[in-house]
Amino acid sequence: MKWLHLVTCILFIGLAACGDNSPTVTPASVQKTSPTPTAVPTMSLTPTVAIPSSPLYQSVTLSYWVKNDGRITARVPALTGSFDLRVIKFNHEMYALTDELIADFNGFQEEPVNPALPEGFLDVRFELVSPPGNIFSLKFTISTYMKGAAHPFDYTRTATYDLEKGEDVTLEQLFLPGSDYLGTISAYCISKLQASEIGPVLIAEGAQPDAKNYRNWNITAHGLLITFDEYQVAAYAAGPQRVVVPYTELQSIIDPQGPLVGVLSK
């Protein structure tokens, strides 16, 4: 029943994508889902010829479909090109994450305000920031406004998925067991933030080596991307802050058998 639910979710995603006619901006390396269902790849093999199987990531395309009900516009990541259970799991998790963001927005109780004020809204976008490979590291930017608020605000969610293993990747898994990876990352980020334009008004508490301060991270080709949301390390006017920690700064603590091995070998 559990897998039936997952397959039902994927079929629902495909049907939803077929009915979407709203204009969208397609992020780099991401395609909008085609209205034509993707056929399962097939290959004819002879008994005397051995053809090595390609990595799963080479068989799929990262696409998206749009949930839109007027106040809410959400782009939901979806892998197409394969019905492998690892692909289905990824699509199910992205659907669930987007639903969670929408539920958080709908659950916020707006105070009675002047009806002439603009209505609240939620806009969810994402981008793939990892290089081609088994690792899919996505950065979600959530823009929202509650009617009567002084201004809109943005915040970030991230998700990193190992398609080959069919499982989520945690920050801890990137590094050697027992290493002080949070301390190393924090020291580098604080140094870079202090040297930036926000240095004089740095809110240092938001960059201390605490797991909650480094919940928004992504794997990129050149380093670990850390995103600090509005108000976390600087005033709202300064906007979100981003620091890329080069892999050379983390070399001594990276697990050589961990998820980063494929990225570092490119």
Q: How many residues in total does the chain contain? A: 266
Place of tokens 């051995």: 50
Calpha distance 141→227 (Å, rounded):
11
Strands of 153-162's sheet, edge to edge?
31-32, 61-68, 72-80, 121-128, 135-145, 153-162, 167-168
> How much is the CA Rg of the chain, to the nearest whole Å?
21
Exposed/middle/buried for 184, CB within 10 Å: 0-12, 13-18, 19+?
Answer: middle
Exposed/middle/buried for 24, CB within 10 Å: 0-12, 13-18, 19+?
Answer: middle
Calpha distance 236→155 (Å, rounded):
11
Q: Dump pLDDT digits (tens) for 115-144.
A: 667 688 999 999 999 999 999 999 999 999
Choices 3.30.565.40, 3.30.460.80, 3.40.1190.20, 3.40.50.720: CATH for 2-38+56-107+119-168:
3.30.565.40
User: Where does the chain hold its CATH 3.90.640.20 domain(s)?
Assistant: 172-264
Which tokens sit at 265?
């070998």
Q: Are 42 and 91 in contact (CB under 8 A)?
A: no
Please give the DSSP secondary-structure letter assigned to residue 206: G
Calpha distance 188→206 (Å, rounded):
14
Q: Dump pLDDT digits (tens) for 14-63.
A: 434 444 443 333 344 565 554 433 433 444 444 444 444 789 999 999 99
Give strand pairing partners of 145: 121
According to CATH, what is the number of the domain 172-264?
A: 3.90.640.20
Please give the DSSP secondary-structure letter assigned to residue 211: G
User: Where does the chain hold its CATH 3.30.565.40 domain(s)?
Assistant: 2-38+56-107+119-168
Calpha distance 253→204 (Å, rounded):
24
Which tokens sit at 243?
């620091």
Q: Dump pLDDT digits (tens) for 57-116.
A: 999 999 999 999 889 999 999 999 999 999 999 999 999 999 999 999 988 756 556 666
Return the pLDDT at 113: 61
Q: At what angle do helices 2-18 and 85-107 cross, to 10 degrees?
A: 70
Return the pLDDT at 47: 44
Return the pLDDT at 149: 73
- Taking the model in full, what pTM does it have? 0.79
Q: Are 190 and 204 in contact (CB under 8 A)?
A: yes
Q: Dump pLDDT digits (tens) for 211-254.
A: 999 999 999 999 999 999 999 999 888 999 999 999 999 999 99
